[in-house]
Structure 1
Amino acid sequence: MSFPVAEAQVVALFMESIAYGVYVVTLGIACRVLFFDNQGMKKRVNWSMVVVVALMAIFSTLDVSLGLRHNLDAFIFYKGPGGPDAEFDNISYWVNVMKTVDTQMMSLIGDGMLIYRCFVIFSHKWLIIAFPLLMWLANVACSVMIIFITATLRQDTTISQQRLLKPFLYSFFIITIALNLLTTSMIVWKIWRVNKDSSPNVPHISTAQRGLPRSRLEKVIRIIIESGMLYTLFVIMTFICELAGSNAIYGVSDVLVVVVGISFNLIIIRVDSSNNVPNSSYIESGVPSYPLRLVRASKAPTSPGGRGVEVMISRDIDRDIAESDKHGSIKAESRDAWGAV
């Protein structure tokens, strides 16, 4: 009661609008990555990724638009008793129902893409994703019930106060958090194994470079963890608001809808960025730098002054995948997976 629903809805619209602005920027860059490269228009476009990006853009835009419509209805168009609070408390109002659909669909798409990444990274082995897939199907069932109850309840009460929804909401959040942690850990573990198996092919690194990233695969690991934790963090925050029965859930859940798309776009952008880093070098001198691309063959000429050694390092991720597959790792045919990962 310390955070009235009318205030919560206005704050939610403000928060989601800021997040949506960030999303639009990442969407534009992700579309450029999907359709263009350094040579111009790509001859081979990953259409599955394009479809997912398009769906996320539709649901994110729809959610922001519905938030604006709901505020206009409550503060401008509604003239009945109770004022804006009464309008917002109508849980089965069509805008509330559609925003619930947006939230559930975005979460399901995001979780589905995590499972797809696992499927590709583990060389299309269905057994590996069997349990995560069952968890995802359980979430689909919870989402259907959440939407059904929201649409048919016909009671004036906030979502956080509705007892019929709580079992399904709790189940949905718990499964989503567990699924995110499980699939992200599986992806990171697999890439770490690939990096470890290919490490004998990397030239010796001096003490000055210890602790620094040794390959672009390690950069991919950081990208997966950072982007995955961004999404998981907002799911946890939404769950906490639900447990506390706070109307802050409106703001956090609205931002969550957009954050799913932001996380997905960032993975596409950052993985592509790491793949396109040109050959670089580091100098074994006072403050060494280390490249994002590693090599099998090295070149170590002594500088004219004899003060440092320059090592040219270059290796492609796809070769890492192909070579590491000899030890039971990711297959070379998974090349397009980096767009999904």
Structure 2
Amino acid sequence: MAGEDPFPITAAQLSGNFCETLFYGMYLVTFCFCVHTLLITGSGREERWLRPYEIRWMMVGVAISLFAICTFDVAIGLLHNFHAFVKSSNPTNELLNIADWINIARSVNQVIAMILGDFVLIYRCWVVYGRRWLVIVPSLVLYLGGVSMACKLIEVEANPSTLRNISLNSSQILPWWIAFFAITAIQNTLTTSILVWRIWRVEKQSERYIHRSGSTAGNQPRHLRKVIRVIAESGAAYTLMVFSTFLVSVTKSNALYPTSDMTIQATGIAFNVILVRSSARRDQQFTVFDHNERTTMTEQRTGGSTTLGQIHFVPGQSAREQDVELNVKSVSVDKSSESQSDIYPNGITVTKSVIKS
């Protein structure tokens, strides 16, 4: 029929629920690995549950929150279709009722999941840069802008003055959707780029230690390169989903529904994959690298005399930041410590410059 929407809201909701379910299956697989990383340490016979003080509770809270959001969204999406196609005599009107609690709840799920995922990505960047706030200021500004757009979006949908029989492509809602996804895409691209850049620099520093020590570890697996690949690929996949949702929003297509549904699950997948490759010990290594880098820069500026320092990772207590010891008289790296294997393989001695008074 002339003038009929080639992709009506009914088809968009059904395809969205199907695609989201497929992505949810992938999310569950990565969630199991994430739980293992968060709650279990060691391998083989040495595998054990982490003690309460060793658990990174903030990451556990985010993981549980994303699991609840992703699961809840799949469930109410199926419920919405059941109401529309089974209980209602007019599926289109049922699906277009923007005031319905399911429509509002799904929008809330969307923005909260993405806000949590973006928060973790920025947090990872902050940790990798030695907890320096200046590095993440641009990302934080964009992040707060995205939060503002998300709040306005929910306010418009829940406002009684908003027209009821409309879709997400209506002129009242669409501008806020476009702004939210555009800001999120830019912020993710920026944060992922500077995160990968930092890890690449740490890897290059590791290679210099290998060459200086005359080690034969040239064929050792490049652990940080694997980390770079994982973060870059997962971050790029998530950003691609966000950018795709932004594009279909601009075109005012009902494809916004399936792409946004998949983006919720992609947020959880990206979080799980990045967290699996971001252990507490690796966080300590980046902290030590930043300390060494600052110390070296200070020495170069002042031209002071130096002594060799020690970086020693205390095995068995890796979940706490204070387990990284920085001594200043001897040089020693515990070769048996699992924590050094990612940055300083084969027990390579690491020296750092410390200015004497």
RMSD in angstroms over aligned alpha carbons?
2.9
Name the counterpart of 1:49.
Answer: 59
Name the counterpart of 2:150.
Answer: 143
AA aligned to 2:57 is W
Distance 2:286 2:121 in 1: 22
Q: Give the conservation status (yes or no) of the 8 Å contact 1:322–1:332.
A: no
TM-score, normalised on structure 2? 0.74
Name the counterpart of 2:191.
Answer: 183
Secondary structure class of the residue paired with 1:261: helix
AA aligned to 1:145 is K
* Per-residue deviation, 1:321: 5.9
Name the counterpart of 1:34.
Answer: 38
Name the counterpart of 2:352.
Answer: none
CA, structure 1 residues 236+42, in 2 after alignment: closer, same or farther (shift >3 Å)?
Answer: same
Name the counterpart of 1:25.
Answer: 29
TM-score, normalised on structure 1? 0.77
Name the counterpart of 2:74.
Answer: 64
Distance 2:41 2:77 in 1: 36
* Per-residue deviation, 1:222: 0.8
* Per-residue deviation, 1:40: 1.1
Name the counterpart of 1:289.
Answer: none
AA aligned to 1:198 is S
Say if 2:133 is the partner of 1:126.
yes
* Larger deviation, residues 25-34 vs 232-241: 25-34
* Per-residue deviation, 1:9: 0.6
Name the counterpart of 1:236.
Answer: 243
Distance 2:141 2:118 in 1: 12
Distance 2:133 2:199 in 1: 18
Q: What is the aligned residue count?
A: 288
Name the counterpart of 2:331.
Answer: none
Name the counterpart of 1:5.
Answer: 9
**Structure 2 portions without partners, runs of 5+:** 296-310, 322-338, 340-357
* Per-residue deviation, 1:37: 2.0
Deviations 1:210-267 (A, max 9, x none): 9x98621111111110110111010011111111211111111001101100111112
Name the counterpart of 2:163.
Answer: 154
**Structure 1 portions without partners, runs of 5+:** 276-315
Distance 2:260 2:248 in 1: 9
AA aligned to 2:292 is K
AA aligned to 1:94 is W
CA, structure 1 residues 119+318, in 2 after alignment: closer, same or farther (shift >3 Å)?
Answer: closer
Distance 1:335 1:121 in 2: 16
Distance 1:66 1:53 in 2: 20
Distance 1:20 1:220 in 2: 24
* Per-residue deviation, 1:154: 3.5
Distance 2:289 2:244 in 1: 41
Deviations 1:86-123 (A, max 9, x none): 11111221110000000010111111111111111111
Runs in 1 of length 4+ with deviation above 4 angstroms?
A: 316-321, 331-338
CA, structure 1 residues 265+142, in 2 after alignment: closer, same or farther (shift >3 Å)?
Answer: same
Secondary structure class of the residue paired with 2:133: coil
CA, structure 1 residues 42+129, in 2 after alignment: closer, same or farther (shift >3 Å)?
Answer: same
Distance 2:252 2:101 in 1: 23
The structure 2 residue matched to 1:327, chosen from 293, 302, 309, is: 293
Q: Give the conservation status (yes or no) of the 8 Å contact 2:130–2:287.
A: no
Identity among equivalent pairs (%) = 33
Q: Give the conservation status (yes or no) of the 8 Å contact 1:149–1:164.
A: yes
AA aligned to 1:185 is S
CA, structure 1 residues 121+335, in 2 after alignment: closer, same or farther (shift >3 Å)?
Answer: farther
Distance 2:289 2:115 in 1: 34
Distance 2:85 2:144 in 1: 39
